[in-house]
Amino acid sequence: MLIRFYKSNQTATLFSIPILVALLWLPAWHKALLPVPDQDMPIFKLLQVLMHKLPTPLLPILGILLVSSLAILLNFLVNEFEVLYKKAHLTSLFFVLLASALPSNMVLSPALFASLILVFVLGRIFQLYKNDSALPITFELGFLIAIATLIYYPSLVFLLLLFIALIILRPFVWREWISPLIGFALPFAFLGLYYYWFDRMDQFIAVFANRSIAWDDIRQRLHLSMPELVFLGCIGLLALLSINKIIGNFFRNVIRTRNYQQVLLGMLFVAFLPLLFFSSVRQEILIIVAIPLSVFLGFYFMVAKRLWLMELVFIGLIGTYVFLHLH
């Protein structure tokens, strides 16, 4: 079954990821994949122009490639940095399921493109641990988060994750706290200069003018159907069990692994913040939440003693997924 298959550390397992994504994205072949965000960020506007030039049949293929690449890259980072106690491919399996779960997320959304950068950000954050040359990395991290923000504005909150990671992984060095802010400001400075040079500063200001904090009803913005609520409720319960298991095994790990797991917990917390602060955030935020959550779910299914039970649970999730899309 799938859990047993992805629990192995065989490299060949990764070749099945694009096939699995293609199966999960079957409903996407019959609908428009290009979203029309309320307010496009500048880099995503450019990406949209390029995507509109692609033949329509290629758009689902691009979506499948993006999700597959995200899953494989995330799983590589988890194995490479030994975030979990042993190597497996369950992280990629759960990322694919979570990122493809909601029908509204089967689009080439800004969150999907930003997630690719945020996974690179996570990998560079892991490299901060006991690194004698951390200053260039922190600058690069600020720069990458800015690029992600210019694709999907709520990515801005991941600056907070960077500072959380510095607290966890590094001794205090004031330059390492300043350099990410400089790196973050640089793309905005270049973009502002571009708009100023072409006498379009009003457009530059308009991009950010209406990005206000909003404490409106999250349920109305998410607009979840009953099958979607059931699916996410099951995922939420499994997430709580996973985090509880992580905490229970916390002191059995080496210090490096503990630190990485704390960073992922911080990422999970930060990933939910856009729901509270940005009124434009909808269901697409689940793609970003899936990055840390898939690691925890993979860990829970990896350490479970009753493998047959985990297989049944996963079959139940797949059944809920099918019902959700048929509904």
Q: Could you read off the pLDDT of 230-245 as tens digits, one per residue?
A: 889 999 999 999 999 9
For range 267-285, the mean pLDDT:
86
Least confident of 78-87, 99-108, 221-230, 267-276: 221-230
194 phi and psi angles, rounded to 5 deg: -65, -50
Nearest to 114 by CA among 293, 325, 299, 287: 287
Model confidence at 48, pLDDT cuts 50, 70, 90, reads: confident
pLDDT band at 33 (very low <50, low <70, confident <90, very high): low
Confidence of residue 199 (pLDDT cuts 50, 70, 90): confident
* pLDDT recorded at residue 240: 94
Give the list of residues 6+ apart from residue 142 with CB closer than 8 angstroms, or none: 159, 162, 179, 180, 181, 182, 183, 184, 185, 186
- Mean pLDDT, range 243-252, rounded to an integer: 85
Mean confidence (pLDDT) of the chain: 87
Domain coordinates in residue numbering, the chain: 2-326
Whether residue 266 has pLDDT greater than 90: yes
Q: What is the mean pLDDT of residues 68-90?
A: 91
Over residues 5-25, the pLDDT tens digits come to 888 888 778 889 999 999 988
Q: Which two tokens stand for residue 113?
A: 């493109």
Residues 6+ apart with CB under 8 A from 242: 296, 297, 299, 300
pTM of the model: 0.92
Q: Which of 118-132, 175-189, 200-214 has the lowest mean pLDDT?
A: 200-214
What is residue 290's predicted lDDT score, i.e. its pLDDT?
Answer: 95
Per-residue pLDDT, 151: 93
Give the whole-number percent of the chain exceeding pLDDT 90: 45
Is the confidence at residue 160, as pLDDT, over 70? yes
By the 10 Å C-beta count (0-12 exposed, 13-18 middle, 19+ buried), 196 is classed as exposed
Residue type (1 letter), 138: T
pLDDT band with cut points at 50, 70 and 90 for residue 275: confident
**Confidence label for 216 from pLDDT (cuts 50, 70 and 90):** low
Q: Is the pLDDT of residue 162 over 80?
A: yes
325: confidence class by pLDDT, cuts 50, 70, 90:
confident
Is the pLDDT score of 128 beyond 90?
yes
Task: Report which of 114, 191, 197 is spatially closest to residue 149, judged by C-alpha positions.
Answer: 114
Q: What's the confidence (pLDDT) of residue 253? A: 79
- The Cα–Cα gap between 117 and 154 comes to 13
pLDDT for position 46: 87
HEC secondary structure over the chain: CHHHHHHCCCHHHHHHHHHHHHHHCHHHHHCCCCCCCCCCCHHHHHHHHHHHCCCCCHHHHHHHHHHHHHHHHHHHHHHHCCCCCCCCCHHHHHHHHHHCCCHHHCCCCHHHHHHHHHHHHHHHHHCCCCCCCHHHHHHHHHHHHHHHHHHCHHHHHHHHHHHHHHHHHCCCCHHHHHHHHHHHHHHHHHHHHHHHHCCCHHHHHHHHHCCCECCCCHHHHHCCCHHHHHHHHHHHHHHHHHHHHHHHCHHHCCHHHHHHHHHHHHHHHHHHHHHHHECCCCCCHHHHHHHHHHHHHHHHHHHCCCHHHHHHHHHHHHHHHHHHHHC
**Confidence check: pLDDT of 288 > 80:** yes
